Homo-oligomer: A and B are copies of this chain.
């Protein structure tokens, strides 16, 4: 079922064009661009759009997936280069900067964290695991507390990125990640 013959050449081209048109639109902040517009921008008709993506939502999801995949890989990469605490710090900042690329993209992150969509299930899982490894390493090294799990932290981060309003938000997001970091560096758990 996964290999039902490799898309015809023109089909693949159009698919690509659609994704890129949609990405451009979202990066411009036009998060509720009309399907008609996206199709036109890609030089195809709506019918074609719907041949490739079951629904507007599905297209959006697909656009975000790559962005998300990159992000998911980051914790692992950083851990190879830095001690856990530093890797964590860098990852948090990376996340915030990533969200800053454009209003549109932060919506992506919000979606990952807050959507039931099975599409992001996998991304969420991988990222959760990566964070868990990171936290475990820190815990073993004695620089991070051990009672917070990867998935929990993931949610906290989703929250941080969800607040994309007004000018000051970038600085505020940075402050908050600093706050979380301090919380994580703090030794003993207390009854919440």
Which residues of A pack against B, CB within 8 Å? 110, 113-116, 148, 151-152, 155-156, 158-166, 169, 172-186, 189-190, 192
Contact = CB atoms under 8 A, between A and B. Distances in A.
Contacts of A156: 159-160, 176, 179
A110 B152 contact: no
Contact of A158 (B113, B152, B162): B162
A92 to B, nearest CB: 9
Contact of A114 (B116, B163, B176): B163
Contact of A162 (B116, B148, B162, B189): B162
Contacts of A155: 163, 169, 172-173, 176
A178 B151 contact: no
17 contacts: A113-B163, A148-B179, A152-B175, A155-B169, A156-B159, A156-B160, A156-B176, A158-B163, A159-B176, A174-B192, A177-B192, A179-B183, A181-B183, A182-B182, A182-B186, A183-B186, A186-B186
B159 A163 contact: yes
Copies in the complex: 2
Contacts of A161: 159
Nearest to A152: B172
A187 to B, nearest CB: 9
Which 8 A-B pairs rank lowest in CB-CB distance, beginning with the nearest? A159-B159, A178-B192, A179-B183, A183-B183, A182-B183, A162-B162, A155-B163, A182-B186
Contacts of A174: 192
A192 B180 CA distance: 11
Interface centre among A177, A190, A192 (most CB of B within 10 A): A192
B179 A190 contact: no
Contacts of A179: 148, 156, 180, 183-184
A94 to B, nearest CB: 13
Interface centre among A176, A178, A184, A186 (most CB of B within 10 A): A176
